Structure 1
Amino acid sequence: MTTKKKRSSNTQNDRWVAIAADSAVEASKVGDSGPVFVRLRNPATDAASLYLFGSGDSQLYEVKAFNEDCHSWFVGQTVQRDGRLLYFTPMDPLFLLLPYLMKAGKEGKFQPVQQVVMDEDYPACTRLLSCSQTQASLHHVAEEKEVGSQKFHRYSQEKTMEWLKKKVDKTVRALKTSNISVGGGVKSMTYIRAKQESDAREEDYLRYAHGLISDYISDDLSRELLKALGLPEISSPKELEPPSKKRKMSDRPVEAGEDYTKFNSADFARKPPKKMTAAQKSLAKVDKSGMKTMSAFFSPKVKTEKN
């Protein structure tokens, strides 16, 4: 009796394909810890998300994954079964610190930030304080007091709104500079420009930028930011938001979505009829009356009931 050989597990398949800047994966100084993946509390969903700390915890990177069904990678002579594409982008650590500052701010007193940023479920959150821009940026979202050589902070809603509004303004400028279409002149599935970019109003840019920033803050803070921007709430966001924003809300990378939309269109399934060959034309003229089809020879015979 023969037995099937079990396929040995290939550890080379347990790898990821990722896109990252050199600064995210290289050690900057001798003795610095290398890049580290950590689980932190997502500021928008309050659930666990994956982040990357660069060398020496100097920079925080957001980890995003683009995933498709039935997708794998050919790397050298091996096949990587995990077909996801990971990419790391720099992220402002203040977004992750905000929930801790807001929670401590309810006490209404100044506290050392080391005492505020503590989480039993996500102990790695203290590493956020090691990022180079954290200490220099806390004044954007909190009031500061210095006693001796120690600083104390208290969350400020007013400062936070001003900081978020500046984030929105910078995002709007980046959208315009990059010529990203955000208005109604974009067809929802194909991103084909139907009208001139002048059709996009300033409100379209603000709403789009607000949506992008809202991916990193709580729903309550997002609504407060909407009011601070002077934008009224819309009754049906999915109907009125720009088409490109709808794709962002689905958490699908825009670049890959543009490449694969042709496979989702109805026109792609419509193929022109093939031309018949001379032999097929001759066969079509033959009288087929009384002939059985090929499938009839393979069909089961119908049993007749006996009286």
Structure 2
Amino acid sequence: MARREDCGDGARARQHVFLLPEYLKDASKKMKSGLMFVKLVNPCSGEGALYLFNMCLQQLFEIKVFKEKHHSWFINQSVQSGGLLHFVTPMDPLFLLLHYLIKADKEGKFQPLDQVVVDDMFPNCILLLKLPELEKLLQHVTEGKEIGKKKYYKYSKEKTLKWLEKKVNQTVAALKTSNINVGARVQSTAFFSGHHISSDKEEDYIRYAHGLISDYITKELSDDLSKYLKLPEDSASLPKPPSKVAAQRQKRNK
């Protein structure tokens, strides 16, 4: 396993890069280091995806798979054969909690969190309830009330859009700090798709950041966020920006 510093949510964050044994994809494994690989719901697709919990630090990580044929990787002082590489970066657990809060909102009532975060397909979702500062996180996306010393929550779309706007702004700041030029990429995409968009550099960054954030939310919420950010409607037809792994690889090749 190798470690490097990477930018995320506008701040410096520790990133792990490692080769993951194939068997870990099919079962949860608790390692001596306190790391646990678990399958949880992908908040964007609704399908299962592999995540990593640090049980000691009580922190959630997402795992991005980067695969190429006939490649080797330099990790620390060794060479690893094979093109399968996994990037592990800290992830805001609120994106996963949103999936359950939005789903529970169909009932239109306040509910205790242990009745909201329930999933027969991905029972390890209960690990989300053990993360620190959970109540503080929920304030960004829910309305809450207390009855008989028990707390109840209800999804708030208005609060969620404000929170997502902050995430977009943090991502824009991180892109600028990392000197990642997104303008040419956005303009090129618009040209080949037959669309004309503003050449405003700030709008390019917002559009690109919106695409990155959309990897963690539903299509419906992504469209609502686009309107909230006042992005042109035709932006929804533009392809999403490359994944974090592809962007990191592109940056290394410069």
TM tier, shorter chain?
Answer: 0.7 to 0.9
Equivalent pairs: percent with the same residue?
50
How many Å apart are 1:55 and its aligned residue?
Answer: 2.6
Q: Which residue of 2 aligns with 1:211?
A: 211
- 3-state DSSP of counterpart to 1:181: coil
CA distance in 2 between counterparts of 1:33 and 1:204 reads 42
Provide structure 2 residue ranges, at least 5 long, that are not aligned to the other structure. Answer: 6-12, 17-31, 190-198
Equivalent residue letter for 1:207: R
Q: Which residue of 2 aligns with 1:106?
A: 106
Q: Which residue of 1 aligns with 2:169?
A: 169
Equivalent residue letter for 1:136: K
Q: Which residue of 1 aligns with 2:250?
A: 257
Q: Which residue of 1 aligns with 2:63?
A: 63
Q: Which residue of 2 aligns with 1:43?
A: 43
CA distance in 1 between counterparts of 2:15 and 2:58 reads 10
CA distance in 2 between counterparts of 1:134 and 1:206 reads 28
- 3-state DSSP of counterpart to 1:136: helix
Equivalent residue letter for 2:46: D
**Greater relative contact order (CA < 8 Å, ≥ 6 in sequence):** 2
Shift in alpha-carbon separation, 1:235–1:34, aligned structure 2, 3 A = closer
Write the mapping of 1:9-88 to structure 2, written as runs, cut at 5 A.
19=3, 34-56=34-56, 58-72=58-72, 82-88=82-88
Give me the TM-score of the superposition, normalised by structure 1: 0.63
CA distance in 2 between counterparts of 1:141 and 1:175 reads 25
Equivalent residue letter for 1:221: L
CA distance in 1 between counterparts of 2:125 and 2:161 reads 23
Query: Are positions 1:129 and 2:122 aligned together?
Result: no
Q: Which residue of 2 aligns with 1:90?
A: 90
> Per-residue displacement from partner, 1:215-265 (whole Å, max 9, x unpaired)?
000000000000111112217844xx7xxx64x15x75223235669xxxx
CA distance in 2 between counterparts of 1:232 and 1:187 reads 14
Provide structure 1 residue ranges, at least 5 long, that are not aligned to the other structure. Answer: 1-16, 26-31, 190-198, 262-307
Give me the TM-score of the superposition, normalised by structure 2: 0.76
Contact 1:61–1:88 under 8 Å retained in 2? yes
Contact 2:3–2:15 under 8 Å retained in 1? no
CA distance in 2 between counterparts of 1:147 and 1:24 reads 41
Q: Which residue of 2 aligns with 1:7?
A: none
Shift in alpha-carbon separation, 1:110–1:205, aligned structure 2, 3 A = same
Residue correspondences, number: 223
> Per-residue displacement from partner, 1:18-45 (whole Å, max 9, x unpaired)?
54779889xxxxxx97011100000001
Q: Which residue of 2 aligns with 1:193?
A: none
Q: Which residue of 2 aligns with 1:269?
A: none
Write the mapping of 1:162-201 to structure 2, written as runs, cut at 5 A.
162-184=162-184, 200-201=200-201
How many Å apart are 1:146 and its aligned residue?
Answer: 1.4
Q: Which residue of 2 aligns with 1:267?
A: none
Equivalent residue letter for 2:249: A
Contact 2:186–2:204 under 8 Å retained in 1? no
Contact 2:186–2:208 under 8 Å retained in 1? no
